[in-house]
Chain A
Amino acid sequence: MLDPMTSIETLPKGFRFPSTKVQLTREWVGEYMAAVEDGTTAELLPNSAPPMALLTLAIRSLLENATLPSGALHAGQELEIQRPANVGEEITIDGEVAGKGERQGWILLSIAFAVSDAQGRPLITGRTTLTTPASAGAGKI
């Protein structure tokens, strides 16, 4: 079990985050879509969540397991969509530290993740790259 106070940049390459299950509720999808002002997915696929909503949940879930320095930034993102997720589905989020390095006083952390449905079929997969000052203090992101 990962101590939630563990600073994420101390995790070693290959570290696997605890698998997390999340209910994709209509309430949260509505909150997300209002926040990003995007009605295009709902217009095309009325019962589906936008792919970036799944990505948002994936990052949120992974980062709930550890702390990040307050100045941490999102440096890069890769994403592959397998199929849209339906509102109401239970999704499972898995991730691991896929790469870690330091350059010019900044730590680069690459997290590979997969979001899958209740049957274990992938919905989205990808890789998130975060960067944080090497000397920053830890705080909850």
Chain B
Amino acid sequence: MFIGLFCGCQSDSYAPPPPVTSQMLAASVRKESHANFAMLREGRTLFVHRCIECHTLPPVWRYRTDEWPGIVSSMSHRSSLKPAEREAVVAYILAVRSQR
């Protein structure tokens, strides 16, 4: 059963969140984001550390772009995210999405 689950989980949608790259930042800026490199890096770190305290990490493609800010906001208290950190997490998720 586990082998089957392993194979199913290793699909692209469940790949680990990618590191921040200059291409990702450029794509993000093209979408009128005001994110910078440091902000996206912090967003990734927070995304992979804080969210898994309660649940596994959802693929960034699971929800629509306009849904993510509300989703992160609704869980920010539980995950001890300050407003700037919340913004960084959303910026990172949207930056990853903007590459496609």
Q: Do A and B come from one complex?
A: no
Tell me the B residues contacting A by CB distance below 8 Å. none
Tell me the A residues contacting B by CB distance below 8 Å. none
